[in-house]
Structures are given as C-alpha cells and as structure tokens.
Amino acid sequence: MKLEALVSQENGMTTAVTESNATRRARALVVVSLGLAALAGCHHKTPPPAGPTAPPAPTPTANMTAEPTAVDLGQSVVLTWHTTDATSASIDGIGVVALNGTQTVTPSSSTNFHLVAKGDGGTAEANVRVTVRVPTTPTTPTAENNAGEGEGGADKIFHQNVPDIFFDYDSYALRPEGQAAAQKAAAYLTAHPEIKIVIGGYCDERGSAEYNLALGENRANSAKTALVNAGVAASRIRVVSFGKEKQFCTEATEACYQQNRRAQFSIDR
C-alpha cells in the first residue's frame, strides 16, 4: 500500500509539472498571436506610386539673318534661318521652308522678311529687313519742256515751286518751314496734275549705312505724307532713300551736314 501511494504521489507531481509547461506554452502562443494581430492592425496600405508626368514641350526658337541687308535694285540677298524645337516653318512671301536653311532672294523693294516657326510648345518669330535702293536716272529737259521757259527749262520752274525740305539731326519730323515748303509744293502740283514726282531721302555722313537708309526713307515718306494731306494723289509720288551715299556737301561742319539732311523733289519722267 505504501508503494502504491508513493507511485501515485509521483504520478501526480509529474502530471502537475506537465500541465504547468503546457500552460506556459499556451500563454506564449497567445502573446505571439496578439502581437502579430497588433502589428497587422497598425499596418496601412501605401498606394502604388503614380506614373511619371511627361515634361511640357519646349518652346521653339527662331532667328534669321540677311546678307547683305541693303542692296541696289536687281541685286540678290541670301537669307539664312535657324529654328529649334519646331515642327514647321514659313517665311512671308516665300511660303513653307525647311526648319533650317538658306535661300537667295531678289526683292524688288525694301522688304521685311518674317519667319514663323511652330512646334508643340508654341510659336516663335524672327524678322529681318532688307533695304532696296532704287536709283533715279538723271534726265535732260526736252526742247518741248524748255520752250518759253528760259535757262533750266521745266526743272528750274519745278524746283522754284517745289523746294526741298530739310530736317534736324537724326529726325524725320517736318519743321515749320518744312510744312510751309510742302504746302507750296502741293499748290504747284495740284495746278499741274500731269506731273509725277520722286522724293529722295538723304542723310549726313554720321551713322551706319543701314541706319541712314532707313532714316532717309522715313524722311522721304514724311514729305510724301505732307503732300498727300495737302491734296496731292499718292499715286503721283514715288519715294527712294539714298541714305548717306550721296552727299550734297562733304565738309565736316554742321552747315554742311544740314545740306545733306533733306527730302529732295524731282520730276519722275
């Protein structure tokens, strides 16, 4: 009986130890499960990154040059242009052109060449002006025009009634005496509707040839505008710029410079 009791007591202790180990393992599993659940609850889903945004199309650029920028009537000019980031290009008066290139042109009058380059990023423009010098041919009065008019003939009478107009330095605005000269000229031309005229614009020697050609053209056009406003038909008037190419006086004095800053009227035969 004592032996059975001892065995029974040992079995009870073994069972108790076994149950204690099992309890500890169960508790550990519960803790791990709770930890995993907590981690799962704290995790937020991150949305996938958005795809890359395409950069905006670059803005086109354009430039154009002319060589030379001033020619005599009948001479040629070489236009050269270059564009970037463009898909098409055109030049006024020429049409569609390559994105980069050169072209020889022979303008019949002063022309502003205008380049337009277009691309996905917008439009770019470039301009270059070519001045065409149109010389006037000296004429000799005919015997018919000279008859009864004395020495100098028709031209002498013409210049007495249609005097030249003079300008200030670097200006094409008519001075008061210039306005009076234009009124006198308009009265004579209105009385002689058969006469057509050429107005030549002149400058003194200071400044570049290109600048003075443009200034001479502006002076001639100012004189033309004054005549038209006074009643002379624009179709009777032609303008030409000589810039500083033809000087009436060659001395480096203000009095000489003044002689060269003028709009000169001539009969257009």
Cα(262)–Cα(204) distance, rounded to whole angstroms? 9
Cα(35)–Cα(175) distance, rounded to whole angstroms? 100
Sheet with 111-119, side-by-side order of all strands: 70-72, 122-133, 111-119, 88-91, 95-97
Confidence at residue 53, expressed as pLDDT on a 0 to 100 scale? 80
- Name residue, tokens 């920028």: 69
Can you tell me whether residue 187 is helix, strand or coil? helix
Confidence at residue 146, expressed as pLDDT on a 0 to 100 scale? 43
List, for residues 148-173, the tens digit of each pLDDT value.
444 457 888 999 999 999 999 999 99
Helix (H) or strand (E) holding 199: strand 197-202
Looking at per-residue pLDDT, the higher value among 11 and 258 belongs to 258
Report the Cα–Cα distance between both ends of the chain, in Å, rounded.
161
Rounded to the nearest 10 degrees, how much is the dihedral formed by the CA atoms of 68, 69, 73, 78?
50
Cα(212)–Cα(110) distance, rounded to whole angstroms? 14
Q: Are strands 122-133 and 70-72 parallel, antiparallel or unpaired?
A: parallel
Which of 237, 232, 225, 226 is CA-nearest to residue 266? Answer: 237
Answer yes or no: are the C-beta atoms of 77 and 67 closer than 8 Å: yes
Q: Are strands 111-119 and 122-133 parallel, antiparallel or unpaired?
A: antiparallel
Q: How confident is the model at residue 16 (pLDDT cuts 50, 70, 90)?
A: very low
DSSP 87: S
CB atoms within 10 A of CB 10: 10
Sign of the CA dihedral running 150, 152, 154, 158: negative
Can you tell me whether residue 212 is helix, strand or coil? helix
Which of 243, 150, 233, 122 is CA-nearest to residue 186? Answer: 233
pLDDT at 141 over 50: no
pLDDT at 209 over 60: yes
Confidence at residue 134, expressed as pLDDT on a 0 to 100 scale? 72
Domains of the chain: 61-133 (2.60.40.10), 151-267 (3.30.1330.60)
